[in-house]
Structure 1
Amino acid sequence: MKIKFLSVIASFFIVSLVITSCLDNDDNIEYSPDATIRAFVLDTIGYGVTYPFTIDQLKGEIYNEDSLPVRADTIINRILIKTITTAGIVTVKDQNGNDSILSLSDSIDLSKTINKGAPLVLKVWAPDMQQTKEYKLWVNIHKHDPDSVSWKYMNTNPSILNNESLKSVILKGKIITYSGSTSLKVHTAPLNNPTAWSTSAMGSDWPSGQPLTSVINFKETLYATSGDNHAFKSSDGINWVAASFPAANGDGSVVDLFLAAYDNKILYSRIAGEARTFYSTGSDTETGNKISVDSDDLDKFPVKNISYTLHKTSSGMRGVMLVGEPKEPTTIEGSNSTKINTTETWAYMEGASGWINLPAGSINSYCPELKNPSILYYNDLFYLFGEGFNGFYRSNSGRDWKLATKFNFPQVDWSKSGANHTIATPEFRGRKNYAMVSDTLTHNLIFMFSGGEASFTEKVTVAESTKETTDVTRTYNYSSEVWSGRLNQLWFDLANSGK
């Protein structure tokens, strides 16, 4: 990889003698004192990708601002320097501490330089062999896969009892979580610090013994429905007053669910007997405009555990994507003509006449039926998940779904001796009662769990030679925990922006 430095000096000396002997005494050759590196390029990483390196001439540092992928350390421990542009020669220290010329034809080990480790010192000798300059070379590598999620334990909330139903919403910089069904409690924590929770009883104006069936935030006021189909509003999430939403044509219907909220309208549904109708409001909530749902699909529209997310199309149009539990699940035909229950999303575009359903296009691109489903629009993709926490399903359009591979919940390697759910090695699979909010500023996903016993089944390989598998049931207990998760790529983006 290197040529002994002494031989190089000798070569330069011989060349200088030859040149001097061939010239008149009046001709003086002046060699450049330039000892700078003007370009530095490593060989390609992974799938032929070249990562640019920054040369800080003042500090004498060379580094890549765009970090190399996770596991690139197995590449840079034997990699070529493709380009190093300088007027003179470059030397490095060999194993004995002697200066040796750097050869671009041999690989070099940069593994010790990773993320501000021990730098590789490059010494540049100017053509005049008098001026020198040293550069410290570091290689930055992502510690986490950008497409994976990092999870952080925030706290345990003992005020949330085991096996309680949960619903959460963000209001005025706070997370508000409602637990229970017949005796509601209100748990509040700062959105930027979901470790310090306070708990109080639901205000006395909330109907006694009635669960909270839906809740949305519209203009920093919460709107919620109770199990007996009454609508309320609140400025603090604890104390409530009746909310008036007039019915079109006085049809005698009552508000049964708040579905979603833009910054200028609320989308909701009304019910009269078994008949259900759908509306949007103006910005004052005092006017209701009826919107359509195809009558053939009414039984597939969600009737409980509503979740929605807002998004924008490439043309700038705002939309709502909604999911929940319907009266009748949508099915898709599987092998042997079997019917498979699926989770179906519903879309509403600003200015549209109504809701449209988005059934899966094929057996190869569907999301299975989820209990208590949630939907996210996150990093320009839609994600679905639900109780059981078997994984996230992702989609570009909200119609066709695939199980995400790297974007996932924490899982324990149960094949290891003594494996179990702990704070250090968390497991989410099998959990039931939960609530989730998304902080759009920091991209944090905050999960609240009602504790209990979790049970799930996973496939385990029993014969490596044949790859034969069997189903094994795992069971563990967990507390009423609070967790925060964030896509690593978004964390990198925030860090680079200085936020």
Structure 2
Amino acid sequence: MISKYFLWTSVLIMNLLLLSSCLGSSNDGDLEYSPDAQIYSFSMASKADTLNLLRTTEFSIDQVNSRIFNKKPLPYQFHVDSVVLNIRGANNLSTFSYVTIQLIPDSSFAWVQSDSIEVSRLHKIITTAPDGITKKTYEIQLYIYQQDPYIMSWEKVAEDYLPTTVNQQKTVEFNNRFITYYIANGAVNATSSSASDGNNWTTASVTGLPPAIQLSSLTVSENYIFAIDDDNRLFRTSDGFTWTQVVTEFPIVTIYGVIPSATDDILVMVNDSSTSKLAITEDFTSLQLVEMNSGTPADLPVKNFSAVQIESTTSYTIKYLAIAGGSKADDTDSNDIWILQEKGGEIYALKSKKSESVSVDGSSIFFYDEKPYILVASGGKNSLLYSDNYGLDWKPAEENQSLPATFNYRKNASVITDNNNIWIFGGVSQAQTQIRDVWKGRLNKFDLN
């Protein structure tokens, strides 16, 4: 009886000893702490920032170059004295061992969440991973516009780059080159320049275009440039210089341009048995007649208008073709800006709202900095209108976007834009002579890039 009791007691003691041994083997030395010292989330805020500009500013974290910065600069003259930082690691459960803030010129301190930091002196953040060993140093850069970002600066890039005998001209961008087509002495010629230059031009021979070509009809698609002549014949080129005639199902009255849509077709007006109709086409091998949802094709200009695609990077539904000025089929002037959109096989046409006193005769419409602009001529000088709702309403640009005093009055200029610049080529002077210069404009906001 005693031996049985002793046996059970021994078993119980052994189990307790084993359990104690297992529990005791888990000590701090066996836990693995993360060596990840990277910052994964960063933001800042300030009580003085009543507009919450800092709180909504997105910061980029460049892990390779150890930089934290805001891609979009804060507004001109933005100022706060101090900020509170929000710094996060890989996850909230595995925080940094500690974080050191380094200030300009040469001081540093251990950071805690509630610290108020003098933002003008903030230089670097040094993080130590949960393992207490691994460190990473980030340089902090807070970009603020140092001058009004919406001032537009202008410079004359080229002068007298065309012969003096020119009597018609138009410039397009194609295959990363500017090509200025011009008619001189009854022949079509061209000169071209790199689309990043605009100063150095090379004369090129043009073949296949008749003297009766309407240079104002030049339209660039993805693979071709198209143009029509006075007899409504169509011509195209794939290299910009060698042109061939294209036989079409209907005579082409005018080419409006590529209308943004799922298929990016070209919108044209055709002559269908002496009736003007709209049509869309990919490359003119076939033409699909389309109806206007409101109005008639007779309301639209057919010559000497300017056109531009309007597409929003933030809204899929904003895809328009805007056309301004020109003359109608009955030879009356059009003083309207039209917004054209293709939906469900129909063309929706809407007139923009602008002051009736504003003339768009000889104007040039273009798209820049996510907004449509239009270069107009009135009272012996040029000025800019713009729209902040994608062309529905128009208003004069501010004084900080005025053209320089040395910019000669002109109509029918060619205007081309890239990501940062506005290029203005030639035009017709008040004395009805051809202007032969090139200007480049740029918003200050793009100087940061």
| CA shift in 2, pair 1:230/1:260, >3 Å | same
| CA shift in 2, pair 1:307/1:235, >3 Å | same
Match of 2:288 in 1: 289
Give deviations 1:163-206, integer Å, cap 9, x for gaps.
85432222222221222474432121122332321123542x32
Match of 2:411 in 1: 432
Residue 320 in structure 1 maps to residue 324 in structure 2: no
Of 34, 42, 48, the residue aligned with 1:44 is 48
Cα distance in 1 for residues equivalent to 2:286 and 2:100: 78
| CA shift in 2, pair 1:210/1:487, >3 Å | same
Match of 2:253 in 1: 256
Give deviations 1:232-254, integer Å, cap 9, x for gaps.
1122222322111112xxxxxx3
Match of 2:426 in 1: 449
Counterpart of 2:389, as a letter, is N
Pairs within 5 Å for 1:390-469? 390-405=383-398, 408-412=401-405, 421=406, 428=407, 430-439=409-418, 442-450=419-427
Cα distance in 2 for residues equivalent to 1:300 and 1:222: 26
Counterpart of 1:259, as a letter, is Y
| Residue 48 of structure 1: how far off its partner (Å) | 5.2
Residue 351 in structure 1 maps to residue 354 in structure 2: no
Contact in 1 for aligned 2:213/2:227 (Cα 8 Å): no
| CA shift in 2, pair 1:282/1:367, >3 Å | same
Cα distance in 1 for residues equivalent to 2:204 and 2:138: 61
Pairs within 5 Å for 1:228-243? 228-243=231-246
| CA shift in 2, pair 1:49/1:207, >3 Å | closer
Contact in 2 for aligned 1:212/1:227 (Cα 8 Å): no
Give deviations 1:332-365, integer Å, cap 9, x for gaps.
xxxxxxxxxx4321413143323524252x75xx
Match of 2:269 in 1: 269
| CA shift in 2, pair 1:69/1:255, >3 Å | same
Give percent identity, aligned residues only.
19
Match of 1:208 in 2: 211
Instruction: For structure 2, list consecutive stretches of 5 or more residues without a partner in the other structure.
Output: 1-41, 88-97, 109-113, 126-136
| CA shift in 2, pair 1:186/1:386, >3 Å | farther
Give the paired residue count.
375
Counterpart of 1:70, as a letter, is Y
| CA shift in 2, pair 1:371/1:202, >3 Å | farther
Contact in 1 for aligned 2:426/2:437 (Cα 8 Å): yes
Residue 198 in structure 1 maps to residue 202 in structure 2: yes
| CA shift in 2, pair 1:282/1:299, >3 Å | closer
| Residue 218 of structure 1: how far off its partner (Å) | 3.0
Pairs within 5 Å for 1:65-464? 66-72=72-78, 75=79, 79-80=81-82, 110=120, 140-161=143-164, 164-180=167-183, 182-203=186-207, 205-208=208-211, 210-247=213-250, 254-261=251-258, 265-271=265-271, 275-293=274-292, 297-312=296-311, 314-316=315-317, 318-327=319-328, 328-329=332-333, 342-360=335-353, 368-387=358-377, 388-405=381-398, 408-412=401-405, 421=406, 428=407, 430-439=409-418, 442-450=419-427
Contact in 1 for aligned 2:169/2:215 (Cα 8 Å): no
* Residue aligned with 2:373, SS: strand
Counterpart of 1:192, as a letter, is S
| CA shift in 2, pair 1:308/1:258, >3 Å | same
* Residue aligned with 1:167, SS: strand
| Residue 144 of structure 1: how far off its partner (Å) | 4.0
Counterpart of 1:189, as a letter, is S
Contact in 1 for aligned 2:306/2:326 (Cα 8 Å): no
Give deviations 1:360-386, integer Å, cap 9, x for gaps.
2x75xx682212223334444332223
Cα distance in 2 for residues equivalent to 1:88 and 1:268: 64
Instruction: For structure 1, list consecutive stretches of 5 or more residues without a partner in the other structure.
Output: 1-37, 114-118, 123-133, 248-253, 331-341, 413-420, 422-427, 456-476
Cα distance in 2 for residues equivalent to 1:393 and 1:89: 48
CA RMSD in angstroms comes to 4.9
Query: TM-score, normalized by length of structure 1?
Result: 0.58
Match of 1:461 in 2: none
Counterpart of 2:411, as a letter, is K
State which structure, 1 or 2, has the greater radius of gyration over its C-alpha atoms. Answer: 2
Give deviations 1:33-69, integer Å, cap 9, x for gaps.
xxxxx99755535845336689999999997665332
Counterpart of 1:283, as a letter, is E
Cα distance in 2 for residues equivalent to 1:402 and 1:71: 26
Residue 482 in structure 1 maps to residue 441 in structure 2: no
| CA shift in 2, pair 1:351/1:168, >3 Å | farther
| CA shift in 2, pair 1:60/1:432, >3 Å | closer
Contact in 2 for aligned 1:393/1:402 (Cα 8 Å): yes
Give deviations 1:379-420, integer Å, cap 9, x for gaps.
4433222344311221414332222327734334xxxxxxxx
| Residue 486 of structure 1: how far off its partner (Å) | 3.9
| CA shift in 2, pair 1:244/1:264, >3 Å | farther
Counterpart of 1:50, as a letter, is L
| CA shift in 2, pair 1:373/1:452, >3 Å | closer
Contact in 1 for aligned 2:173/2:179 (Cα 8 Å): yes
Cα distance in 1 for residues equivalent to 2:243 and 2:99: 78
Cα distance in 2 for residues equivalent to 1:224 and 1:89: 65
Counterpart of 1:49, as a letter, is L
